[in-house]
């Protein structure tokens, strides 16, 4: 099966893991710190905080900013549910905002304006598929209203612009991301005070960590805030250091593959549209396409699967999920809903070759021409 995404792992990662095991020190040590320094340097930041997941990173940013009960946070519905869950974790209310268009499936600034109230404290911008939101427009929007900007950068590692929009950015190293530590995440914030609050909160609010106490030869510590167990371990950091060395090269391979896909699909599947037609800074995390409305998407999925090609959907709208439908009934986001009904994600990762990409598009064209019509499913 050709997977939608696949991690690139090999001998260097195995060697890095072996060194951690041989060292006997498994969590929050020198490798975590080295990974933080290297990741920050790649993004032009002074420092960052490694954590257990992007979800943890989002939660810690919201928590560190003091957002809580009575506050509202603008969020897209076209995202993974963790983006919205993090708002509930701090007791705030997520307010769903529609996307701009089929071509730019990022949060609409016009809809965001209409959704603001006196209780709005922040906006979470999701760099969907790796494509960056418009920094200047959103900074003006937030500045006028006194709002925090939080970047969900799960799809956009390796871009220096990420982490410069506002209060902080959350990254993901889950197994399907541009680089992986299996599970893991990072917070980048340019505010040293917020960064240190997040650093302390990731480890139960303790004033020192185990490795620090070992080096200072004192077992004493205090707890000065409510904290969480959101630490990254040494094994994940060791894998991350290896992966990070390849990230820019892998992102470039993704860029080349996306350009190839765009050319092939335009030639062989003219009824299929592709978001982000205009040039925009991206880490090219996924390859989303929009099927024509007359096509039954499940038929296309099934026919591609018969050819050994996995596809998936990014994303089922969060406001349609049972929990959020019950919590916030009556939400209607027409552009998000139409996009989600037609979107299909085809394979994109650095192990794909040009012939494989051509085979994917050929299979897609065959599925579209082979009767995958709306209403034909049993």
Q: Could you list the active site residues?
A: 177
Long-range contacts, 114-117 (Cβ 8 Å, 24+): 115/74, 116/74, 116/145, 116/147, 117/72
Please name which of 183, 203, 199 lies closest in space to residue 191, comparing C-alpha atoms: 199
Q: Are 39 and 50 in contact (CB under 8 A)?
A: yes
Q: How far is CA 309 from the centre of its chain?
A: 23
Q: Are 345 and 313 in contact (CB under 8 A)?
A: yes
Measure the CA–CA gap between 263 and 285, rounded to whole angstroms: 18
Give the single-character DSSP code of 132. P
Measure the CA–CA gap between 111 and 68, rounded to whole angstroms: 23
Q: How far is CA 104 from the centre of its chain?
A: 17
Please name which of 291, 3, 338 lies closest in space to residue 175, comparing C-alpha atoms: 3
Q: Are 244 and 38 in contact (CB under 8 A)?
A: yes
Measure the CA–CA gap between 239 and 31, rounded to whole angstroms: 10
């Amino acid at each position: 099966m050709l997977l939608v995404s696949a991690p690139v792992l090999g001998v260097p990662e195995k060697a890095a893991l072996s060194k951690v095991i041989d060292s006997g020190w498994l969590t929050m040590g020198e490798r975590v710190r080295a990974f933080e320094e290297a990741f920050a340097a790649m993004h032009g930041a002074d420092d960052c905080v490694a954590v257990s997941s992007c979800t943890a990173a989002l939660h810690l940013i919201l928590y560190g900013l003091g957002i809580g009960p009575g506050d509202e946070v603008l969020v897209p519905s076209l995202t993974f549910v963790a983006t919205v869950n993090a708002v509930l974790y701090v007791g705030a209310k997520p307010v769903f905002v529609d996307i701009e268009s089929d071509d730019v499936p990022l949060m609409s600034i016009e809809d965001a304006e209409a959704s603001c109230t006196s209780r709005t404290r922040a906006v979470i911008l999701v760099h969907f598929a790796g494509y960056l939101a418009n920094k200047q427009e959103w900074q003006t929007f937030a500045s006028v209203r006194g709002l925090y900007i939080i970047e969900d950068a799960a799809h956009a590692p390796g871009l220096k612009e990420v982490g410069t929009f506002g209060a902080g950015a959350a990254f993901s190293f889950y197994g399907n991301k541009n680089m992986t530590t299996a599970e893991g995440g990072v917070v980048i914030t340019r505010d040293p005070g917020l960064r240190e609050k997040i650093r302390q909160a990731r480890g139960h609010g303790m004033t020192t960590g185990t490795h620090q106490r070992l080096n200072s030869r004192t077992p004493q510590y205090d707890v000065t805030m409510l904290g969480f167990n959101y630490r990254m371990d040494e094994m994940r950091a060791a894998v991350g250091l290896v992966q990070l060395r390849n990230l820019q090269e892998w992102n470039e391979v993704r860029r080349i593959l996306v350009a190839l896909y765009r050319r092939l699909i335009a030639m062989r599947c003219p009824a299929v549209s592709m978001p982000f037609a205009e040039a925009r800074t991206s880490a090219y995390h996924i390859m989303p396409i929009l099927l024509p409305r007359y096509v039954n998407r499940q038929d296309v999925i099934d026919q591609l699967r018969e050819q050994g090609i996995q596809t998936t959907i990014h994303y089922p709208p969060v406001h349609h999920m049972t929990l959020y439908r019950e919590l916030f009934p009556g939400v209607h986001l027409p552009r998000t809903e139409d996009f989600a009904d037609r979107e299909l994600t085809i394979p994109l990762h650095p192990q794909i070759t040009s012939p494989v990409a051509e085979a994917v598009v050929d299979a897609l064209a065959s599925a579209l021409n082979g009767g995958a019509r709306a209403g034909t499913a049993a």
